[in-house]
Chain A
Amino acid sequence: MSKQERDPLTGQLTTGHEWDGIKELRTPIPNWWLITFVVTWVFAIGYLVLYPSFATTKDYARGLLGWSSTKELAEATGRARDQQSAWRTQLLATPLEKIEANEELRRFAMAGGQAAFNENCAGCHGVGAGGQIGQFPSLIDDDWLWGGKVTDIHATIRHGIRDGGDETRLSAMPAFGEILKPEEIAATADFVLSLSDRSRDATRASLPGAALYETNCAACHGAKGEGSRDGGAPRLDDAIWLYGSSREAVIRQVADPKMGQMPAWQSRLDEATIRMLTVYVHTLGGGEK
């Protein structure tokens, strides 16, 4: 039954099997196919041994090469950091005021600053750094509670605001709800609201709140409401009202002031990143020279 013979018509060998007189030509799979098949097996076994391949009851087979994607990521980020190290060194060596004058350094700082901003700052100040009225100050306007020069911004980011450290930006406003009577607070608020209205410059002094302001507020906020950045007293004569510009909002702020907080970032971010953030915030539109 199983006798290989040569087919007379084609000259090929038969498989040796015969069914009802029908024979099958022996047409083995091509060698290249067979070899490829074997190679896939060799590859698969090699992969199984060298790389993490299957789970064990408590762990997984780590493979002889000890490769892991986490390690690979760490190496890649390490390489990226190495590539940046020259720029970071230059960033640390350059005086803050001179970083922006260096075109390439500025681009590097702005790219890194934007990434760091979106990661760390956008949560409060917003992705566009527009802040939120009643909550967080805008960083792209020209009003700065603690100064808008690069050195000021740098110090604010490093030490934070009312965050407890030695050098943190610290100011506090008394809650006048416990000091003044409600009608006195309302009169003070009316006077404060008039400070930013240029048309009332001449008549403002006759307002009933003028004397109250002079006694209670002018020491910090200035006689004309010009504020004080050193003391962290906001300007009252401008159009920007962090906690709202309605009469109610101002009365509330006088009676029981909100005072925002910002963490000190020096313990969370490295100095180069803080400098990048500084440059980024400074170039958003409100930076001062």
Chain B
Amino acid sequence: MATTAVIDTVSQRRPARLPIPQTVRGRYRTIKTAIAWALLAFYFITPWLRWDRGPSLPDQAVLFDLPGRRLFVLGLEFWPQDLPIAVGALVLGAFALFGATALAGRVWCGFTCPQTVWTDLFFTVERFCERLFGKGTLLSRIAKPIAQIALAVLTAFGFAAFFNDAPSLPSALVTGAAPLGAYLAIGILSLTTWLFAAYAKERICLHMCPWPRFQAALLDKDSLVVTYQRWRGEPRGKKKAALRLELNDLTALIREAASFEAGRGDCIDCMRCVNVCPTGVDIRDGLQMGCIGCGLCVDACNEVMAKIERPAGLIRFDVEGSDRAGSLKQEAVRLLRPKTLLYAMLCLFAFGSMAVGITRMESVLLDVEPQRNPPFVQLSDGSVRNDFSFRLAHRLPHLDRVVIRAEGLAGASLRFATGETGQETVALAMPGNRRISDRLFITAAPGQAPSGRASIRVIVTDAESGATLGEVETYFWGPAR
């Protein structure tokens, strides 16, 4: 029988992380907690902030008004045609992310990614349940899923609150008056939140997320990553407490001396770094895809180093390759590098374009479209009428009434199918929803209609201030003579 070479993929697999990672205190834990609170507060509180926009508009500071196809952000109102500004925001976000990664490694993954923040939150809640009811008890086994589901539903509600009037949403949901989309969104997001943060947790980072996959392309030798200082850590060994002096005999001392001479490193293989890791990686294996760069193992190791009275920083944020350098101190980060400068410039450019885009947003949308079937209507007194579909929407703070006139056609009279009738001008009251669509009839007096096509301009002005809100160049058709 021939021998077979087997690549054993099974034993290379990491042991699964603890069901709930251990807690740790320290610098990075504090930063992580502070950022998580800030982000959670932003997510849950933002929909409840109010912003007065006058009587006919919603007073929610940030509101995605899907039925009205508009987005309110504080004093700004966005329409679908402002989408390029969103592109600017996305480009800005992408380059900020690249820049942050070039500087400080996977800080996005470690501190701000929703998956990280919510997983951390769920870990905290699960730990709390275990502390309250005892580990593995029936009560904690009941309490944990309840807490998880409650958190998931709360998260989904927080999302739906961005799309609906937040204060009235809870009662609307209970009475069945909320839009179907709200129920769907809450249902789907509850499920995915539970699935991602309660069930899958770090598996999302390890198996699903594309972001860790292109880390290699974004990190360079100057980026900060979590490093294990191999030069002082290896070989690992158990820390032995020194025997009490009167118990010491020569052989023990020699044995101890010999063991030190054999060269134990600073790592005492206590596994704290692995046990606190939210993704369960062993950072001592070196930089790896599973490491989200949150620095909790740094805190854990520093804690242990303090206890065994060795210098901190066996695991620390440092540049890749520093584990061979043999320095106790972290190298100074080179902030100004061609790469970071380029990212900074691109961010600035994206931000600038966005700012320019926002200042140049059109406040009035005017659309006057000729109805070409038939191109003109012969009226009995010899005058000729053209029909237009007229659409006007605005996002001005105040506009009650507009006046519409047509230029380029002598003796034109204007009329709306359902609105008012005028001679040279026609006035139109703007309703509360700030948009109107109607059929606009423009009539040329007998003998004044052009032969064939003539250019006209339809001009809309504010009835109060007389300011021109918009004008559209279009055509007026008359019978060929």
Contact = CB atoms under 8 A, between A and B. Distances in A.
Nearest to A140: B377
Interface in A241-283: 283
B417 interface: yes
Contact of B374 (A100, A106, A126): A126
Given A10-B6, A21-B2, A22-B2, A239 B380 contact: yes
Contacts of B374: 126, 128, 130-131, 138, 140
Nearest to B372: A128
A134 B6 CA distance: 92
Nearest to A131: B374
A159 interface: no
Nearest to A141: B377
A286 B417 CA distance: 9
Given A128-B371, A285-B385, A285-B387, A141 B378 contact: yes
B418 A240 contact: no
Interface residues of A, number: 26
Given A9-B4, A21-B1, A285-B417, A238 B441 contact: no
Interface string A182-201: 00000000000000100000
A128 B373 contact: yes
Contacts of A285: 377, 385, 387, 417, 439, 441
Nearest to A138: B377
B432 interface: no
Nearest to A143: B380
A179 interface: no
A34 interface: no
B372 to A, nearest CB: 8
Contacts of A286: 377
A142 B1 contact: no
A21 B1 CA distance: 5
Nearest to A235: B380
B373 A238 contact: no
A37 B8 CA distance: 30
B6 A141 contact: no
B232 to A, nearest CB: 38
Contacts of A140: 374, 377, 387
Contact of A142 (B2, B379, B418, B439): B379
A239 B382 contact: yes
Name B's interface SS. loop
B268 to A, nearest CB: 34
A127 interface: yes
B285 interface: no
A285 B387 CA distance: 8
A10 B3 CA distance: 12
B309 interface: no
Interface in B414-472: 417-418, 439, 441, 446
Interface in B375-425: 377-382, 385, 387, 417-418
Nearest to A12: B6
Interface in A87-122: 100, 106
A108 to B, nearest CB: 14
Contact of A238 (B8, B380, B385): B380
B10 to A, nearest CB: 8
Contacts of A106: 418
B107 to A, nearest CB: 38
A100 B419 CA distance: 12
A30 B159 CA distance: 38
Given A21-B1, A106-B418, A285-B417, A127 B373 contact: yes
Contacts of A142: 379-380
A235 B380 CA distance: 9
A141 B2 contact: no
Interface string A224-245: 0000000000010011100000
Nearest to A7: B4
Given A143-B380, A238-B381, A283 B417 contact: yes
Contacts of B417: 283-285
B378 A240 contact: yes
A142 B380 CA distance: 6
Interface in B209-267: none
Contacts of B439: 283, 285
7 contacts: A128-B372, A138-B377, A141-B378, A143-B380, A239-B380, A239-B382, A283-B418
Interface of A: 7, 9-10, 21-22, 100, 106, 126-128, 130-131, 138, 140-143, 196, 235, 238-240, 283-286
Interface of B: 1-2, 4, 6, 8, 371-374, 377-382, 385, 387, 417-418, 439, 441, 446
9 tightest Cβ-Cβ pairs between the two chains A and B = A128-B373, A130-B374, A238-B380, A239-B382, A143-B380, A9-B6, A21-B2, A141-B377, A142-B379
Given A131-B374, A240-B379, 20 more contacts: A21-B2, A100-B418, A126-B373, A128-B371, A128-B374, A130-B373, A130-B374, A141-B377, A141-B378, A143-B379, A235-B380, A238-B381, A238-B382, A239-B380, A239-B382, A283-B417, A283-B418, A285-B377, A285-B439, A286-B377
